[in-house]
Structure formats: C-alpha cells, structure tokens
C-alpha cells in the first residue's frame, strides 16, 4: 500500500489533471505517481549531466590546460601541414 498525501492545486491545473486521467483511463493518483516518476528521472539525468560536465571541467583544470592546449596544437599542426 502506498502513502497518502494531500496537495493544493489551482483549479485550472486540476481540470487538466482530470481530463488527462480520464483520457488515459487511470486514477488521478496514478497520474501523479507517473508524473513524479518522470520528474525524478529528468532531475537525476540533469544531475548526472552536471557531474559529467564537472568531471570534464576538472580534467582541463587538473592538467593545467594541457588537454585543451594539446588539442589546439594538434589542430594547428594539421592546418599548417595541410598548407604545405
């Protein structure tokens, strides 16, 4: 059995919830559960993306910019060699 909770909603939002739950033939409780599950999954994905971005930022900082510098030198070398 799940946990019961009470929330307050604007009338317009409640009407949309009613319409969608009828359209999908599910209870309002089930609709809320699905919506919250989707919200949590989205939030966790954003946290993961943030962690990945931090890891790549740390790589550039930890190596004193050498990773970025290596990439730039390689591109410059390819451009110069392509001209000759």
Condensed to tens digits (0 to 9), the pLDDT of residues 5-46 reads 999 999 999 999 999 999 999 999 999 999 999 999 999 998
- Closest alpha carbon to 68 in 81, 52, 57: 57
Band (pLDDT 50/70/90 cuts) for residue 64 is low
Band (pLDDT 50/70/90 cuts) for residue 50 is confident
How far apart (Å, rounded) are the C-alpha atoms in residues 36 and 7? Answer: 13
> Burial of 47 by CB count in 10 Å (0-12 exposed, 13-18 middle, 19+ buried)?
exposed
pTM: 0.62
């Amino acid at each position: 059995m799940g946990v019961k909770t009470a929330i307050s909603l604007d009338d317009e939002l409640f009407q949309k919830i009613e319409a969608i739950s009828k359209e999908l033939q599910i209870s309002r409780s089930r609709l809320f559960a699905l919506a919250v599950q989707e919200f949590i999954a989205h939030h966790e994905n954003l946290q993961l993306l943030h962690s990945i971005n931090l890891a790549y930022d740390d790589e550039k900082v930890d190596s004193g910019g050498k990773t970025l510098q290596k990439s730039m030198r390689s591109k410059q070398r390819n451009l110069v060699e392509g001209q000759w």
